[in-house]
């Protein structure tokens, strides 16, 4: 009765069938992003057309172990609609804070921070306690410009503590990589090192609760040459025409010392090795005579001593 279907009729039927199948496809709800940037899973509205009630959701505060200076962030999971945020510090509301991030608030160790998040008619809270902030050293300043044997080497550290705690310091000194376990203070005695030694220091701060990070940046020093020191004093009076003064200098590096007379009256001499000063004064000598003695070590460092000889006619003489 009917002939075989043509290829055109079969193609039209296939297109009609596929079109009807596409009408049955529906879109899936997508996860929403909270104000804090966290992705929240889609929730069901159970309170009518206006979605007056959200399903349960969770709230987390980050970082998990906050310290003073941290900015707390609220992460909400399980809700997709806009949120309201109320912050409390030690049970008291914090004015002007209504966003997911808490910032611009001074926090110290022991503060309890609580956030209440509302979504529709539901609310969830999260709470955290501010942990201790260890002190941090910002500088360690040497109290002398040169390091050499015989002179105590002292440093002064400076640290900050976000909680306002008092800070103490522990010092670890090393000379040529050998730790000086008996030296734990800010002063290293001048007898603990020699010229050419390498001195290293590490300072560790500590507050009432814990230690901070050790500080050693820039705290490495090479011991330089110790200059000589003149330790003798000239005579306080002149008793004869033959003036005699035994100058004496010391050197912490035990270098040999040579002496020279940089200034003095005519005829005055100084022995370059012993430092003995001699002057045969003329019988008619009078007035003020300036004297300058210099002592030099093997490296070229030097020290000097200056004084005046007062000679008056009539035999009244003095030394200043």
Q: What is the pLDDT of residues 254-293, one digit of tens each?
A: 999 999 999 999 999 999 999 999 999 998 888 999 999 9
**pLDDT number for residue 181:** 95
**Domains annotated on the chain, with CATH:** 32-129 (2.60.40.10), 136-222 (2.60.40), 229-319 (2.60.40.60)
Angle at 37 between CA 34 and CA 43, to 5 degrees: 30
Cα separation, 225 vs 229, in Å, equals 13
Q: Residue 4: CB partners within 8 Å, gap ≥ 6?
A: none
Other beta carbons within 10 angstroms of residue 260's beta carbon come to 14
Least confident of 79-93, 129-143, 175-189: 79-93
Greater pLDDT, 312 or 287:
287
- Identify the DSSP state of 31: P
Q: Indicate whether 210 pLDDT > 90.
A: yes
Nearest to residue 293, comparing CAs of 231, 206, 237?
A: 231
- Is the confidence at residue 7, as pLDDT, over 60? no
What is the tens place of the pLDDT at every residue in 31-57?
A: 333 433 333 333 333 333 344 444 589
Residue 221 preceded by cis peptide, ω within 30: no
Q: What is the pLDDT of residue 236?
A: 79
Kindly indicate the confidence band of residue 205, based on its pLDDT and cuts at 50, 70 and 90.
very high
Distance (Å, rounded) from C-alpha 196 to C-alpha 155? 20
Highest mean pLDDT among 25-34, 228-237, 264-273, 310-319: 264-273
Tell me, what's the pLDDT at 317? 60
Helix (H, G, I), strand (E, B) or coil at 147: coil
- If you average pLDDT over residues 112-128, what whole number do you get? 93
Place 82 in a pLDDT band, splitting at 50, 70 and 90. Answer: confident
- Distance, in Å, from the CA atom of 100 to the CA atom of 83, rounded to the nearest integer, reads 9
Interatomic CA distance for residues 108 and 105, integer angstroms: 10
CB contact at 8 A, 269 and 242? no
Quick one: tokens of 122? 């539901």
Q: Are 144 and 121 in contact (CB under 8 A)?
A: no
pLDDT band at 103 (very low <50, low <70, confident <90, very high): confident
* Residue 30 pLDDT exceeds 90: no
**Once rounded to an integer, what is the mean pLDDT over residues 56-82?**
90
Q: Are 266 and 236 in contact (CB under 8 A)?
A: no
Do residues 86 and 98 make contact, with C-beta atoms less than 8 angstroms apart? yes
Q: For 270-301, give one letter per residue: b (16+ CB within 10 A) or e.
A: beeeebebebebeeebeeebebebbbbbeeeb
Q: Count other C-beta atoms under 10 Å from residue 211's C-beta.
A: 13
Among 49-58, 143-152, 154-163, 208-217, the minimum mean pLDDT is found in 49-58
In whole angstroms, what is the distance from residue 199 CA to residue 216 CA? Answer: 12
Judged against a pLDDT cut of 80, whether residue 318 lies above it is answered with no
User: Which of 75-79, 164-168, 247-251 has the least mean pLDDT?
Assistant: 75-79
**Mean of the per-residue pLDDT values of the chain:** 84
pLDDT, greater one: 214 or 6: 214
Q: What is the mean pLDDT of residues 94-122?
A: 92
What is the percent of the chain where pLDDT is above 70?
80
Q: What average pLDDT score do residues 105-114 get?
A: 93
Report which of 314, 294, 310, 312 is spatially closest to residue 302, judged by C-alpha positions. 294
* Of residues 189, 198, 213, the one with CA closest to residue 140: 213
């Amino acid at each position: 009765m009917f002939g075989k279907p043509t290829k055109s009729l079969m193609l039209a039927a296939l297109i009609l069938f596929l079109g009807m199948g596409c009408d049955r496809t529906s879109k899936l709800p997508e996860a929403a992003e909270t104000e804090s940037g966290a992705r929240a899973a889609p929730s069901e509205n159970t309170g009518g057309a206006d979605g007056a009630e959200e399903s349960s959701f969770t709230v987390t505060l980050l970082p998990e172990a906050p310290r003073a200076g941290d900015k707390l962030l609220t992460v909400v999971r399980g809700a997709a609609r806009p949120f309201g945020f109320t912050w409390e510090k030690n049970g008291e509301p914090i004015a002007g804070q209504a966003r997911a991030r808490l910032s611009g608030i001074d926090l110290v160790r022991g503060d309890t921070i609580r956030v209440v998040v509302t979504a529709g008619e539901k609310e969830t809270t999260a709470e955290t306690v501010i942990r201790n902030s260890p002190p941090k050293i910002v500088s360690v300043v040497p109290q002398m410009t040169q390091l050499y044997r015989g002179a105590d080497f002292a440093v002064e550290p400076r640290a900050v503590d976000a909680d306002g705690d008092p800070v103490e310091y522990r010092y670890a000194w090393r000379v040529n990589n050998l730790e000086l376990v008996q030296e734990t203070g800010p002063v290293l005695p001048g007898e603990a090192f020699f010229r050419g030694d390498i001195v290293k220091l590490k300072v560790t701060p500590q507050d009432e609760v814990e230690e901070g990070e050790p500080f050693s940046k820039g705290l490495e020093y090479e011991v330089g040459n110790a200059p000589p020191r003149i330790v003798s004093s000239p005579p306080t009076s002149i008793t004869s025409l033959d003036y005699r003064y035994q100058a004496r200098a010391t050197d912490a590096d035990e270098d040999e010392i040579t002496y020279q007379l940089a200034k003095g009256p005519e005829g005055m001499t100084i022995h370059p090795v012993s430092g003995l000063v001699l002057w045969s004064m003329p019988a008619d000598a009078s007035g003020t005579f300036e004297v300058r003695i210099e002592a030099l070590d093997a490296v070229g460092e030097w020290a000097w001593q200056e004084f005046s000889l007062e000679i008056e006619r009539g035999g009244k003489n003095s030394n200043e």
